[in-house]
Each structure stands twice: as C-alpha cells, then as structure tokens.
Amino acid sequence: MGGGGTLIVAYLSIIVLLPIAALVSHGFSISVATRGAGVAFWRWHVSLGFRTFWSAVTASGARNAIFLSLWLSFSVAAINAVMGVAIAWVLVRDRFFGRTFLDSVIDLPFALPTIVAGVVLLAIYGPDSPIHVDLFETWMGLMLALLFVTLPFSVRSVQPVLASLDLESEDAARTLGAGSARTFFSVVLPSLWPSVLAGFGLAFARAIGEFGSISLIAGGIPRTTTASYYVFNLTAGFLWTDAAAVSTALLVLSLVVLVSANVFSRRFQRRLL
Amino acid sequence: MRPHRFALRTVVLLYLGILIGLPVVFLVVKAFGHGFGAFWGEVTQTDALSALKLSLVIAAIAVPINTVVGVGAALLIARHDFVGKRVFDTIFDVPVAISPIIIGVSLVLAYSRIGWLGAPLARWGLNVLFTPLGVALATMAVSLPYVLRSIVPVLTEIGQDQEQAGRTLGAGRLRIFWSLTLPSIRWAVLYGVTLTFARTLGEFGAVLVVSGNITGVTQTLPIYIYDSWDQRFDVLGSYSGALVLALISVAVLSILAVLRRRERKLLVDFA
C-alpha cells in the first residue's frame, strides 16, 4: 500500500478503530493495567467485566430505552418502507407540475443538520404549536422526528430500481386482464423487494442511533428516553462505564441490522436474477 | 387508472407536506415572527457569532484532512489490490453507520483523562474532553466517508487507460495524478467536499458528548441552537440559528444538484 496507505491506516486507527476498541473494552471494564497477571485473575477479571456489562445493559432505565428505540425504529422503518414505495412511484411514474421540486425536497432531511430537524419539527408540533398539535414529550413526537430523518433512505433505495424496470411485463399483465392493484402486487413489487428491504435496514439502523432530531422534542423525561438519549444522560452524569456498556450493545445491534439487511437483500436479488 | 393515480399523488403530497413542507414553512414564520430586525439581532449576538466561528474553524480543519484521506483511500481502493481491502473499505462507513453519541463516548474513552491514552496525552498537554480538539476529532470521525464514496464509482467508471498511457509516455506518479486523474474526478471531489462540509457544519450528537457545551469555547452552531432552546429558553435564538443552518443546507443541495448535472454517477448519499 505504500507510505500513503500507512498514513491513512494510521488516521483510521486514531479516529475510528482505537476509540471503538476503547469503548468495547471499557464496556466490559477490561483494564490494560492488569497485564502479566495469572490466568485465575484474568478469569475473575473477565467474568466481573461481563457482570458489570450485563447489569448496565439490563438496568430498568436501559431496558426501557432500548425497547422504546427498537419498537419506534421498527415502526418508522416499516411506515417509511410503504411511503417510500408510494413516493418513489409518484416521482418516477406520475407527471404533474412541481414534480422535480418534490424530488429535491426528498433530500432535505439528509442535508439538514439533525438539530435543525428537531427545531423545525418543534416549530409546528411543539408546545407553542400554531396549529395546536403539541407532540412535545410524546412518542408520536419521537416518531415524527424519526420518520423525517429516515425518509430519504426509504425513497432513494427504491427510486432507481423502479425507474429501471421495463414496462413490458406490466403491460403484459394488464393485457391479460390484471387490475392495477394486481399488477402492482404480483409484477412490480416482487422486483422491488430487495431495494425496499435495503431501505428498511438503512432506516432502521439510522433510527436506532438517531439523537439530534429527537433531543429537543423528547424533553428529557423517562417515557421518551430512547437508547441514544439514555447513553447521553449517562455521559452527562459522568457514568462512563455504564455509557460504554450500553453503547457497545447498541453498536452490536446496529451492525447486526445492517449486515442482515445486506444479506437478505442480496439473497432476494439472487433469486430474481 | 386515473382515480388511482390521483389518490396516490394526494396521499404522497399530504405525507410530505405534514412531514417536511409545513415544518419548514413554520420555521421561517417563527424565525421572522418578531420582524427581520429581531432575527438579525439574534444571529449577530456574541454567542451566536462565536459559535458560528468555531463551526467554520472546525470545518476548515476537518474538510481538508478528510478530503486528502478520501482521495488517497479512493485511489487505493479503485486502483490497487491488497490484503484486507474489504475491511479497509468498510471501516470508512462505521462512523456514519452507528449513533453519533457512540462516537462521542468512544473518543472520550480513548483520549480523555479517563481514557486509554489519557495519561500520555495529558503529559503533552492534550485533552479531548471539553476542548475544541475533541470537537475537531468528533467532527473528523463523522464526516469521514463522503469524499471516498463520491470518488470511487467515478474512478472505477473512467478506468485506467489514460493513466497507463501517461505511464508509458514516461510521466511520474505525481504528474499522472495532477494532470490525468484529478481532472477527471474533479466534480466528484467537489461533490464529496460539499457533503463533508455539510456534515461537519451540522454535527451535533458526537460533538455534544465531547464538548461539554462551554459557551464561546466548545460551542458550535448546532450546540448553540440546542442550548438556546433547552437551557437558556431563548426560543427565537434557536429558530434563528436553525434558519441560518437550514439556508446553508439548501445552498448545499443546490450545489450538489449542479454537480450532479456534470457527473451523472453522483448521488446524494448520507448513508
């Protein structure tokens, strides 16, 4: 790889690899200062580490927060999977005034800093809502924020695939007497599945880790404390070991989601080819 | 067919209106709610300006570093084969695939006084917790992959014919890079730089954990917006700061659209 490659690897180590190694080892309270100690000591040390990890992750606050994040992220990814297909359909197949503008609006949640997304939602769905819809400190507020930030993933995963489908098989289905619903479900949707799943995975992973857009609308009460908010609260109280443990659990969760979405979407693709 | 199409269009427009349209419109309404003068006063007050300044300084550090690293890594991935290439490639996506809060906690546990390398770093007078250095590190981590991800598809597409011709004609590696490779990927580089800039300016979670939110020292513009709402109950300050960042985002999106017209392989991809 040469000298440049070595420098890049060093940079990656400094800003990604070393910090994550430090996080995981801290989550299990494994200390580098115990080098040279005997096997019995290490066995005790590691089992104690696992116990601290487990008690931090299963503390009632942590459990509630992780559960809240899981069901919110799942629902948000599911809702946006459906709406993503609908929006992509309208953007690709429909023709009306302002369609190009609509297409660029989809990217706005990507480009908008997450805290701005939070403020933007509070401007209309907050305590001084001009339309009297106050979602401050409710799960619906959290859901709205997560729907907002994950929408581009769901739309942009499906849109190019939909645009590349040829219309012949749909025409054939229609000629054979299938209605538009039947045509959609038995001709179009099967070829869209892999991309819908990929979008679902991306949206889910993003929602699990999201913090900025929900940090204001959550308000900081236990009922609306998501997993990442819970970790932030721990750091604010300088409880770094607990924060590291819950972060490690979240880290594993996001990686599992991303990898499995990847594997599933590839398997679907292979079956279609 | 017609009624179906109309119904679907209506549902989509309603959804986007409720989720994106209305909130953005009301942000503008609220920011200018007490007139343009009040908005301008909020934006130009000392704390807001020093937050904006820190955000720009951090961007001025993180964007060039991540651009050089991104271009170098893209060349390695698209032009060379080496052991562990897929792992190398995947590492770039890790910081954007996980929660920014986790990034912040990781950096603290590696480099602050309580972290792995805290003691040796402290001997050199370096500390990442509650310092601008930590803010810079966190920002560099979360904006890592954008240049790389913008360039690799273009590099793969253009192939190596030109570069090989240059080598045959006796040009050195630097000469080939500056006069053959760089000109053909310049729009992609610019695209990646724009994405990186947008992300550095907007990063919130990772920075909040490492910064400790010290006004005038570690307070970036996103943190200022949060602080105005959450701690100082200065709602107008929050709306005004958010509007400034939102306008920058719209500018970023327009630049990206222009660049996409020049290079069709480019995608908006914050994934």
Residue B271 within a domain: no
Residues 136-175 on B with a CB inside 8 Å of A are 137, 140-141, 144
Neighbours of A67 (CB within 10 A): 12
- Whether the CA torsion B44, B47, B52, B54 is positive or negative: it is positive
Query: CA-to-CA distance for A168 and A172, rounded, in angstroms?
Result: 6
Query: Which range marks the domain in which residue B160 is found?
Result: 36-262
CB contact under 8 A, A116 and B108: no
Helical spans, DSSP H, in chain A: 2-12, 18-27, 39-57, 60-93, 99-105, 108-111, 114-125, 139-164, 168-175, 180-183, 189-209, 212-215, 227-236, 240-272
Q: Does B126 touch chain A (CB under 8 A)?
A: no
* Residues B120 and B169 both lie in one domain: yes
Question: Of A29-38, A155-164, B213-222, which range is least confident?
Answer: A29-38
* Residues A134 and A185 both lie in one domain: yes
| pTM reported for the whole predicted model | 0.92
Q: How far off is chain B from A67, nearest CA to CA, in Å? A: 16
Q: Does B233 touch chain A (CB under 8 A)?
A: no
Tally of domains within chain A: 2
Give mean pLDDT, residues B176-185: 91
* Residues B149 and B171 both lie in one domain: yes
ipTM over 0.85: yes
**Two tokens at A61?**
């606050």
pLDDT band at B160 (very low <50, low <70, confident <90, very high): confident
* Residues A234 and A102 both lie in one domain: yes
What is the residue-averaged pLDDT of chain B? Answer: 90
Residue B125 within a domain: yes
Q: Tens of pLDDT along A191-202?
A: 898 899 989 999
Residues 182-241 on A with a CB inside 8 Å of B are 202, 205, 208-212, 215-216, 227-228, 231-232, 235, 240
List CB contacts (< 8 A) between A212 and chain B: 100, 204-205, 222
Instruction: Give, to the nearest 10 degrees, the angle between helix B100-111 and helix A240-272.
Output: 130
Residues in chain B: 271
Residues 92-111 on A with a CB inside 8 Å of B are 94, 96, 102, 104-111
Residue B233 within a domain: yes
Write down which residue in A10, A32, A57 finishes a domain: A57
**Residue-level pLDDT at B211:** 87
* Residues A25 and A66 both lie in one domain: no
Q: Tens of pLDDT along B208-261?
A: 999 877 777 789 999 999 999 888 888 899 999 999 999 999 999 999 989 988
